[in-house]
Amino acid sequence: MAPKRTPSLPAGSAAFAVYWDRATWDLSRSAYMADLDDLPKSPDSWIGWFQYALKRHVRRSARSRAALEVPPPDRNPSGSQKELKDAGAPLDGFTKTHVVPEELLDQVERAIVDDRVKAGRMISRSQFAREAVVAAIGETRSRRGRRGLPPAPDRLPNRPRSRA
């Protein structure tokens, strides 16, 4: 059996694996599409939107992040995807690896340590990312008011044009 190859990343980039629950994943995609249409300087890709959400969350204080009170997602029962599917259990969550700037990942790691030291919170990278995204979704919802979030398409377009 050949050894698994690790894809090489561009210089200055890092792999950031995140556990996504389906609801947060779908809402993040909807918020990205809404921001694309509403904000003139919105990132032109979902990963850019995600990185912007992480940067905003890193800039918050440990106390501010704790005040958001974003509960962790419900996790699926344990087992392989095949076992869960055969048992009729929901397959709501998944892990996806994103490529982010190393500097941003370092900032996330420092913020996680600050949360532990200054706020007594022990959270994972995935929970930090989820909190950042939930906060960004909340900001988009507040800005849009009654218009709400549009449903995201099954596949997001690659670098769509902004309407803003």
Calculate helix-pair angle for 46-59, 22-38, nearest 10 degrees.
Answer: 100
pLDDT of residue 74: 65
Distance CA 148, CA 122 (A): 33
**Span 70-88, pLDDT tens digits:** 877 766 555 566 665 666 6
In whole angstroms, give the CA distance from residue 32 to residue 107: 22
Amino acid at 162: S
Q: How far apart (Å, rounded) are the C-alpha atoms in residues 72 and 125?
A: 12
In 3-state terms, what secondary structure has residue 67?
A: helix
Determine contact, residues 93/21, Cβ cutoff 8 Å. Answer: yes
Residue 62 pLDDT exceeds 70: yes
Q: Check whether 160 has a pLDDT greater than 60.
A: yes
pLDDT band at 152 (very low <50, low <70, confident <90, very high): confident
Spatial distance between the Cα atoms of 84 and 98, rounded to a whole number of angstroms: 25
Whether 13 and 101 have beta carbons less than 8 Å apart is answered as yes
The pLDDT of residue 159:
67
Q: Give per-residue burial for 14-39: e unless 16+ CB within 10 Å, then b.
A: bebebbbbeebbebbbbbbbbbbbee
29 Cβ contact list (under 8 Å, min separation 6): 46, 152, 156
Asked if 161 and 54 count as a contact pair (C-beta separation under 8 A), the reply is no
pLDDT, greater one: 153 or 119: 119
- Residues of the chain with pLDDT > 90, as a percent, come to 63
- Which secondary-structure segment (H or E) carries 95? strand 93-101
pLDDT computed for residue 57 by the predictor: 98
pLDDT at 71: 79
- Residue 35 has φ and ψ, to the nearest 5°, of -65, -35
Question: What is residue 69's predicted lDDT score, i.e. its pLDDT?
Answer: 82
